[in-house]
A and B are shown apart, each in its own frame.
Chain A
Amino acid sequence: MNGSKHQAHLNAQFSAFTGMALAAGLAVATPAHGFAEYLGGGYIRMSDACTPYGWTGTHQVMVRLEPQGVDANPADITQMSLLFGTGTMAVRLNLDRGIRHSYTPTQATYVWNGPWTPDAPTMTFAFSPNGTWPLAGGVELRGVHAIIDNFNEHAGCSAHFYANLRRG
């Protein structure tokens, strides 16, 4: 987004803001033209059933979402990454049955130490009808709300996920 000439100009004009100028260079990770990508974040609140697995309380989470069927995105693949402060979960889902359905990812990769991609993920996403459907389209997803069961492949561990996103 910023050519090097432009960047140099910014650095000269705002020498007090070198950190910001660097951030401007870092922030550019946009999808190919025509694809729809949403960026945002929110939190995940763990249920008591997650405590034995070491997950408790509230966790900040940043979210990247590529919803299926929006613009040039594939019709049957939704991609979503949950960026925690300490690791990442990335899933592919096929949200082809509406909001009142519980979805198991077709693929899930968990990155804590190494990458782990189970052959048959057990984690599920059930999106709340009170929240914003991830495939709603438009410029903003005001409040995506999902109940995630078997969070991080932990049997019985349920978590509430809330996020707002904006189209990048």
Chain B
Amino acid sequence: MTHFLNLPVFLRYSLQALVIALLALATSPARAEFMGAGTIFGASNCTWPTGVEMTRARYRAAEADGGRGSAVTLNFAVGGVNTYNFYTNLTPSRVWRRAAGRSIWGTFGIMRTRPLVRVLQRQYADSTSAAQMQNAPNVYLRMRIRNFNGEPGCAVTVALTMNRLN
């Protein structure tokens, strides 16, 4: 019994399991992943960005993906990556959702000040109707992100146009 409480060993094995799970994810297409690109703008209190930025994006929607939570990954035109993971759906709401944030610029980093995300709009790419994520062929996702890019106090708006992957 006690060896199960050996934390380093436990961590090592659970990390192995995680790595295997991630490899499986990489080899089988996600069921509700969207990919596209868009803009980052409306920065306040940010070192970067200062103006309008282009970014590539991926979005995994919790609704159609077996309850593994939602995830948004931004791959900036200037280089660098942010990824935001949520326990919840990204249904538009006034709520500030807590996210786990990670970034890669010079190296991998965990955002120590938790990002907070308000989903402003989630519609179809060419209409203002709310997107039904179970079967939406595409999506326009607009969010306000606080503590963006690991910089406490920095807030931006992100607007993304993405297509469902199959």
Contact = CB atoms under 8 A, between A and B. Distances in A.
B38 to A, nearest CB: 5
Contacts of B77: 27, 62, 83
A166 B140 contact: no
Contacts of A40: 37-39, 54, 159, 161
A162 interface: yes
B130 interface: no
B161 A143 contact: yes
Interface in A30-89: 30, 39-43, 45, 57-58, 60-64, 83, 85
User: How big is the A interface, by class?
Assistant: 35 or more
A10 interface: yes
A60 B37 contact: yes
Contact of A145 (B37, B76, B125): B125
Nearest to B151: A17
Q: Which of B38, B50, B138, B162 gathers most chain A CB within 10 Å?
A: B38
Interface stretch (A18-26, A91-99, A105-113): A18-26
B165 A42 contact: no
Contacts of B41: 166
B58 to A, nearest CB: 9
B61 to A, nearest CB: 15
B37 A39 contact: no
A21 B38 CA distance: 21
B52 interface: yes
A89 B50 CA distance: 27
Contact of B48 (A23, A64, A166): A23
A45 B165 CA distance: 10
Given A19-B105, A163-B161, A164-B140, 10 more contacts: A20-B149, A26-B78, A42-B36, A83-B77, A143-B161, A162-B125, A162-B138, A163-B37, A164-B38, A166-B41
